[in-house]
Amino acid sequence: MKILVLNCGSSSLKYQLFDMENESVLAKGICEKIGMEGSFNKHEAAGEEVKTVVDLENHSVAVKFVLDALMNEKTGVIKNVSEISAVGHRVVHGGEDLYESVIIDEKVKKLIDQCSDLAPLHNPPNLIGINACEAIMPNTPQVAVFDTAFHHTMPKMAYLYALPYKYYQDYKVRKYGFHGTSHRYVAGRAAEILGKKPEDLKIITCHLGNGASICAVKGGKSVDTSMGFTPLEGLMMGTRSGDLDPAAVLYIMEKENLSPKETGNILNKQSGVLGVAGIGKSDFRDIENAVAEGVVNAGLSLEMFDYRVAKYVGEYAAAMNGVDAIVFTAGIGENSAARRTAICSYLEYLGLKVDGNKNNTRGKEIIFSTDDSAVKAIIIPTNEELVIARDTLELVKK
């Protein structure tokens, strides 16, 4: 059975076509700058990548282009669209009502639309992608897999903010958490790698990418996570501030006469390591290079990043009354030995001991703590697309 996984962003569309017989990726790619000047597609199949500059005026056109790329003589891997048995969509926000992967119908689409208020940058393009597929493949089942769903198991004391309760009742203001598909995948893999049942483990998963979040996974379930009502809460990130005193925000708004929109832009797009390092870049490779060149604030931004990750690990070890394993994933977590070393140096009190040689690894699964370490530290490359494909298969098989 072949399953197409789609991840529609505001101006991009990422895709992977899986053969679920052996969970192999037959083709994958990305359409970028959809609706803008200079839109293009990068398509990879059988180890070859083809870049095509093409006018993709909207997501519907992009979906059509992708299907053609999957079917055409040169880059194709299927003959007919009917070979695609189902489409799995990454949807960012499921709110309180959509807390597990579901087959998409009119009711589900309405609920996704209702969550657009909570994720205005993400849910609308997700929905556009769903509608585009529906129009082109009306008889192919479609499944939605939500970034928020894994965190549905958080207890109320963890997800509520200490605000007047009516804001939760009236507007559903609460912690939802994101990156759930990634946390779920790496926590599951960690249990497999350790040869233990998820029920018997307390795991802290650190998804450290451009967006970054941490999750406390107890007995296989998310019991707390660092992102909140939006992805802005929690860790310091590439361009997001993460946690700070809300009064500081109000103060700056007054001082600089800023609107909520302008303020949101500063907190989401101009803060984090970008804001502190002051080199006009948020990519951690650039920041680490700037440190080597002696840019003081670049070093400071990384110290702040590491410190905050370590503090969250401590917080979640307390929340779970212990921790068996700490997992590092996503761009920084999988690739930066320097960040892992710095973060783990705060965690010796937990009995965590890093094996320097094993830590010198990039992008592949490895337990990089020493054999006698009380807490295991593991690198696990994330694979959200595979989770989406598996969930989709599971639902359409029923």
Task: Tell the smallest beta-carbon distance from residue 388 to ligand ADP (Å).
Answer: 15
- Per CB under 6 A, contacts with ligand ADP among 287-306 are 288
C-beta of 34: minimal distance to ligand ADP in Å? 17
Beta strands 13-19 and 24-32 are: antiparallel
Over the window 220 to 249, marking each residue x when it contacts ligand ADP by CB under 6 A and - when it does not, the resulting string is ------------------x-----------
- Residue 302 CA to residue 240 CA, distance in Å, equals 14
Task: Kindly state whether residue 210 participates in binding ligand ADP, applying the rule CB under 6 A.
Answer: yes
Binding of ligand ADP at residue 397 (CB under 6 A)? no
- Whole-angstrom Cα distance, residue 138 to residue 82? 11
Half-sphere exposure of 371 (CA within 13 A, CB side): 0
Shortest Å distance, C-beta 309 to ligand ADP = 13
Cβ(148)–Cβ(176) under 8 Å?
Answer: yes
Does residue 205 belong to the site contacting ligand ADP (CB under 6 A)?
no
Of 1-9, 22-30, 75-83, 207-215, the window that binds ligand ADP (rule: CB under 6 A) is: 207-215
Report residue 72 as tokens: 């055409």
Supply the residues annotated as catalytic: 147
CA distance linking residue 125 with residue 13, whole number of Å: 9
Can you list the positions of beta strands (E) in the chain?
2-8, 13-19, 24-32, 40-45, 48-53, 84-91, 102-103, 142-146, 202-208, 212-218, 221-225, 325-329, 366-367, 376-379
The Cα–Cα gap between 40 and 151 comes to 35
Stretch (H or E) spanning 129: helix 123-136
92 belongs to the binding site for ligand ADP (CB under 6 A): no
- Among 88, 180, 231, 331, which residue sits at the site for ligand ADP (rule: CB under 6 A)? 331
- 275 sits near ligand ADP (criterion: CB under 6 A): no
Minimum CB separation of residue 238 from ligand ADP in Å reads 5
Q: Which of 13, 21, 20, 23 is nearest to 43 (CA)?
A: 13
Shortest distance (Å) from residue 92 CB to ligand ADP: 12
Per CB under 6 A, the list member of 88, 209, 234, 242 interacting with ligand ADP is 209
Judged by CB under 6 A, the residue of 178, 284, 305, 328 near ligand ADP is 284
Per CB under 6 A, the segment of 23-31, 40-48, 253-261, 280-288 that binds ligand ADP is 280-288
> Residue 205 in 3-state DSSP?
strand
Report the interface residues with ligand ADP, using CB under 6 A: 209-211, 238, 283-285, 288, 330-332, 335-336
